[in-house]
Amino acid sequence: MTTFCLLQISFVLLYITKISTQDCNILPLLHNKMIQGNLHLLNKMGQQFPEQCQSEKIHFKFPEQFLKLRQKENAKVEIQEILQLIFYIFTKNLTLAAWDGRSLERFQNGLNQQIEHLEACLTERMEKKQPYSRSEEIIRLKLKKYFQKIDNFLKDKQYSLCSWEIIRLEMRRCLQFIDKVIGRLRN
Amino acid sequence: MAVLIGPLSFCQLVYLSILTTILFSLTEASVINPPQKLTMNSQNFEHILSWEPGSNTTMPTYYDVMYIGLSGSENKWKIAKECSNTARLFCNLTKEYEECTYTYIAMVQSITGNRVLNSSILEFSPYRSTYLGPPAVNLTACPTCINVTVKLPATYLKESSLIDIYQKLDYTITVESFDRKEKIPIKNETSEESFSYVVGSLHSNTNYCVSVAVAASLNHHSIPSALKCIITRSNTQPGYGIIPILNGGLVSLVVGIFLLGLYKGGFICLKSKPWPKVLETTNKLHCSVHEPDPENVCSVQIMYKEMEKKEWEYSYDDSESESENSGDYTRRVILGRDPSCHAKSNTFVHQTIDCKSAESSSQATELLSSDTENSEEHQSVIRENERISRVFFHPSSEVNSSSTSELSNSACFNINLNTVMLGDPDKTWDDSATLISHQKDAVDLQDSSASDALESKNFTNTVDVKKPDCHNISHEWQNPSVSDESDASDSEYIRR
């Protein structure tokens, strides 16, 4: 009986893994949905942008060349990297942020799911990965610089409420950009 | 004391209440609220901010709209150019909100006299909050389907379409039957400005209404298109009208051609066509034979096949007798002899011509003239002996057609043989002798179908006269060109 049960479970797991790997074909659609949910959560967790924080804000220049990535596989890799960086930011000291804890948690889980899914699909097709061209390398570097700037900003402001609100605002914009690139992947 | 206190307190109360009301009214007048209820109406990236005034005051109030792009580099409030110091209660911020991915905040500042008040801040992210649509929809029907053609609306952003901004859009086609009983939502996605979708599996000859809405993954705000209705019918409907018309036209054309052919062939609508001239004589022939012919007139019937009024040249064998004339001539004229005729002359020329009709009379005249000419030539030729003779019918010979007056339709005419002259064409006509020089009697050539008495009289006369005349004639014919055959020209009978 136990062996039979084990067999059933293993079969089910096999099917699940097969199904989950097949998700890579509908990756763009799925990720659009995921980002949608994440963005909604990001909106929900805080209030309207506080007036007093307007003076503190700075301009984070998101590399818009990222939006023009042609290679689909490389774009997926870049998306995964961005999501990871965002996730990393939201693991920092959030005590002064005064956000809705539950929404924040769900936002973090959602990001994690997205990252894991992308990882699974990308490692499957690792052999199909194209070498980065010079322009693509530049985009990668710029993205890294962008997130470094955000990190520095938060540190300088000592993770104050205003700094977090400014960053939240910027992350919403960032997710919008990712959504745009994923939309292009669906073509 | 209590009484005094009462009225006093009453007065105080009244006084106080009056004061407070006055104060309140004063404070109300002095309290000016900032603009309120800021709302952003955005459609296809056209952003219009509207607000309500803080309070109704008699003093004029002007407004300034300030904004900041939060994701941008500027930290200071910027004033919207078209909405500075405006008295209106709305402002178009399309040009100010040019970065679609930014989050913008806006504030309205009211200026009343020298008092400046700021409204609350309105945050707005165009990318996520603008309303998309309505798209332009065109419908074409087929028997059980509808072809929906959708065109996305244009954005108010410079050189950017909805697809440029969102890359991919989800659209929902709602098909419902006219009576709202069926509702079919169809969801799909597009990355093109203009696209079409065929909605199938519909009932035929049913009225359906279609509405299309577009949305993006991060922007679910959409305005659906107005309901457009169409009936699922075949596109070849105009063809249904054309085909029977064409068929009818073809059939009528075929029938018309057939009838035309019949008409041309003379099978229908027989008309009395004009007979040919030649046949008319035969027509008359049938009509003419009514009266009995009591006359026993010697006649030789000659039927002409062709009449030629021209010079003839003949040469024939001398040995041929007159009786053998018929066979020797290579001419087209056939000489025939009536066996009942006692006269020996072989050159009787007869022609059966109906004298009754005027037409035939003219023909008869022609033929007669040619006949006489030929007959003359006959005779001359016959008499000729190895000679070429030419005989002309002298044009000066009289042809008296006065006798025709007696007979209405007669084409008969009298030839005064005294005036007929035969002669050699080489010589002048003066030398030629008249046919009948001493013969004074005219030869009446009349229609046999004319009055019997007259006819018989004439013919008998001619018969009586002829014979001696013939001889005379033979004598008279002393032309060198004419041979001495005697009987050839005994008489000429042209019987009609």
- Asked if residues A149 and A110 have their Cβ atoms less than 8 Å apart, the reply is no
Indicate yes or no: CB of A179 within 8 angstroms of CB of B75.
no
Among A109, A58, A102, A90, CA closest to A159: A90
Backbone angles phi, psi at B242, to 5 degrees: -75, -40
Count CB neighbours of B31 within 10 A.
Answer: 10
- Asked if residues B371 and B494 have their Cβ atoms less than 8 Å apart, the reply is yes
d(CA B68, CA A76): 33
Query: Rounded to a whole number, what is the distance in Å from the CA of A184 to chain B's nearest CA?
Result: 6
d(CA B495, CA B367): 12
Q: Which of B70, B128, B168 sits opposite A57 (nearest CB)?
A: B70
Average pLDDT, chain A: 83
Q: Chain B contact for A68, CB < 8 A?
A: no
**What percent of chain A is predicted at pLDDT more than 90?**
26
pLDDT bracket for residue B298 (50, 70, 90): low
Q: Which of B123, B191, B217 sits opposite A32 (nearest CB)?
A: B217
Q: Chain A contact for B102, CB < 8 A?
A: yes
d(CA B349, CA B377): 11
Give me the total of CB pairs closer than 8 Å, taking one residue from chain A and one from chain B: 69
Q: What is the pLDDT of residue B251?
A: 92
Query: Rounded to a whole number, what is the distance in Å from the CA of A130 to chain B's nearest CA?
Result: 24
Q: How confident is the model over B41-48, as a mean pLDDT?
A: 93
pLDDT tens, position by position, B408-442: 444 455 666 676 666 555 554 444 444 444 444 44
pLDDT bracket for residue B108 (50, 70, 90): very high
Residue B386, both tokens = 């190895």
Q: Does position B320 have pLDDT exceeding 50, yes or no?
A: no
Count CB neighbours of B418 within 10 A.
Answer: 18
Q: Does position A13 have pLDDT exceeding 60, yes or no?
A: yes
Average pLDDT, chain B: 67
Query: Rounded to a whole number, what is the distance in Å from the CA of B114 to chain A's nearest CA?
Result: 24
Q: What is the pLDDT of residue B440?
A: 43
Q: Which of A36, A54, A173 sits opposite B102 (nearest CB)?
A: A173
Query: Rounded to a whole number, what is the distance in Å from the CA of B79 to chain A's nearest CA?
Result: 15
Q: Which of A36, A172, A187 sits opposite B217 (nearest CB)?
A: A36
Q: What is the pLDDT of residue B6?
A: 62
Fold held by A26-186: Growth Hormone; Chain: A; (1.20.1250)
Q: What is the pLDDT of residue B74?
A: 74
All residues of chain B having their beta carbon less than 8 Å from the beta carbon of residue A39 are 128, 218
Q: Does position B325 have pLDDT exceeding 80, yes or no?
A: no
pLDDT tens, position by position, B350-366: 444 444 444 444 444 44
Q: How confident is the model over A27-52, as a mean pLDDT?
A: 85
Q: Which of B121, B166, B191 sits opposite A48 (nearest CB)?
A: B121
All residues of chain A having their beta carbon less than 8 Å from the beta carbon of residue B191 are 183, 186-187
pLDDT tens, position by position, B356-399: 444 444 444 444 444 444 444 444 444 444 444 443 444 444 44
pLDDT bracket for residue B21 (50, 70, 90): confident
| 3-state SS, one letter per residue, for chain B | CHHHHHHHHHHHHHHHHHHHHHHHHHHHHHCCCCCEEEEEEEECCEEEEEEECCCCCCCCEEEEEEEEECCCCCCCCEECHHHCCECCCEEECCCCCCCCCCCEEEEEEEEECCEEEECCCEEECHHHHCEECCCEEEEEEECCEEEEEEECCCCCCCCCCHHHHHCCEEEEEEEEECCCCCEEEEEEEECCCEEEEEECCCCCCCEEEEEEEEECCCCCCECCCCCEEEECCCCCHHHHHHHHHHHHHHHHHHHHHHHHHHHHHCCCCCCCCCCCHHHHHHHHHHHHCCCCCCCCCCCCCCCCCCCCCCCCCCCCCCCCCHHHHHHHCCCCCCCCCCCCCCCCCCCCCCCCCCCCCHHHHHHHHHHHHHHHHHHHHHHHHHHCCCCCCCCCCCCCCCEECHHHHCCCCCCCEEECHHHCEECCCCCCCCCCEECCCCCCCCEEECCCCCCHHHHHHHHHHHHHHHHHHHHHHHHHCCCCCCCCCCHHHCCCCCCC
Q: Does position B131 have pLDDT exceeding 90, yes or no?
A: yes
Max mean pLDDT range (A23-27, A72-76, B7-11, B100-104): B100-104
Query: Rounded to a whole number, what is the distance in Å from the CA of A4 to chain B's nearest CA?
Result: 43
- Asked if residues B45 and B156 have their Cβ atoms less than 8 Å apart, the reply is yes
d(CA B344, CA B491): 10
Domain at B136-232: CATH architecture: Sandwich (2.60)
pLDDT tens, position by position, A143-179: 999 999 999 999 999 999 999 999 998 999 999 889 8
Q: Does position B149 have pLDDT exceeding 60, yes or no?
A: yes
Q: Chain B contact for A48, CB < 8 A?
A: yes
Q: What is the pLDDT of residue A64?
A: 84
Task: Give me the torsion for CA of A71, A75, A76, A78, rounded to 10°.
Answer: 140
Q: How confident is the model over B18-31, as a mean pLDDT?
A: 69
Query: Rounded to a whole number, what is the distance in Å from the CA of B153 to chain A's nearest CA?
Result: 19
Residue B166, both tokens = 């969102």
More confident residue, B101 or A90: A90
All residues of chain A having their beta carbon less than 8 Å from the beta carbon of residue B165 are 180
Residue B20, both tokens = 């407070």
Q: Chain B contact for A53, CB < 8 A?
A: no
d(CA B386, CA B315): 6
Q: What is the pLDDT of residue B100?
A: 84
Q: What is the pLDDT of residue B467?
A: 43
- Asked if residues B333 and B312 have their Cβ atoms less than 8 Å apart, the reply is no
Backbone angles phi, psi at A20, to 5 degrees: -65, -40
Task: Give me the torsion for CA of B77, B81, B82, B88, rounded to 10°.
Answer: 40
For domain B36-128, the question of CATH label 2.60.40.10 is answered with yes
Q: Which of A39, A57, A186 sits opposite B218 (nearest CB)?
A: A39
Q: How confident is the model over A19-28, as a mean pLDDT?
A: 61
Q: Chain B contact for A144, CB < 8 A?
A: no
Q: How confident is the model over B468-472, as a mean pLDDT?
A: 43
Q: How confident is the model over A50-63, as a mean pLDDT?
A: 85
Q: Chain B contact for A153, CB < 8 A?
A: no
Residues of CATH 2.60.40.10 domain(s) within chain B? 36-128, 136-232
